[in-house]
Amino acid sequence: MSYELTDAQVLTQLRLRKIKLTLELERVDIAIKAFEEVDVSGMNKFDLMAIDTDVDTDLAADKRYSPTMTNEQKVLWALSKMKRATAVEISDYLIHTDPELKNRHRVITAITYTASRMFNAGKIGGEKVGTKNWYKLKANKI
């Protein structure tokens, strides 16, 4: 009995491996950014956020992800990384960032509700394009 794989099976396995490695690399990049920001002791939080000048400083004070964040904090964190996204894109980003989030449907439902509520309360910006709501962080009001 031979267990040889066909070229198509090998290619499929390689593509899956590539996706897993890409996700792992993104997690490593997030961890590196978090540690780089922690290690700069002589700067205040406004110096650390100089790159994101259009992001509300109250919303982006801490750029590290934590599974204990509220859904509102998770939406704000994801939008600070993505700039502009739908609730489904925010949910998918959170799912790939946090391995503890396993039920995709439940995450999408919670994030959709939270993002919509935040938009209606004026905490985040957004616009409707076609049938989708695109959310973004509000610009600083200086």
- 129 shares a domain with 62: yes
- 12 shares a domain with 62: no
Cα–Cα distance measured from residue 24 to residue 18, given in angstroms and rounded to the nearest whole number? 10
Q: Is the residue at 105 inside a domain?
A: yes
Q: Is the residue at 45 inside a domain?
A: no
Tell me: the pLDDT tens digits for 41-96?
444 444 444 333 343 434 444 567 888 889 999 999 999 888 899 999 999 999 98
- 70 shares a domain with 6: no
Cα–Cα distance measured from residue 120 to residue 91, given in angstroms and rounded to the nearest whole number? 19
Q: Is the residue at 57 inside a domain?
A: yes
Backbone angles phi, psi at 123, to 5 degrees: -80, -30
- Please report the pLDDT score of residue 48 as a whole number: 40
Q: How confident is the model at residue 36 (pLDDT cuts 50, 70, 90)?
A: low
Task: Output the 3-class SS for 70-105.
Answer: CHHHHHHHHHHHHCEECHHHHHHHHHHHCCCCCCHH
- 97 shares a domain with 127: yes
What is the percent of the chain with per-residue pLDDT over 90, rounded to a whole number? 30
Q: Is the residue at 141 inside a domain?
A: no
Most confident of 1-10, 40-49, 94-103: 94-103
Cα–Cα distance measured from residue 86 to residue 88, given in angstroms and rounded to the nearest whole number? 5
Given a cut of 50, is residue 142 above it in pLDDT? no
Domains held by the chain: number: 2
Which residue range forms the structural domain that includes residue 22?
A: 1-39
Residue 76 sits in a domain of what CATH number? 1.10.10
Query: To the nearest 5 percent, what fractions of the chain are helix, strand and coil?
Result: 55, 10, 35
- 13 shares a domain with 70: no
Q: Is the residue at 8 inside a domain?
A: yes
What is the percent of the chain with per-residue pLDDT over 70, rounded to a whole number? 75
Cα–Cα distance measured from residue 27 to residue 131, given in angstroms and rounded to the nearest whole number? 31
Q: What is the mean pLDDT of residues 100-104?
A: 87
- Please report the pLDDT score of residue 14 as a whole number: 86
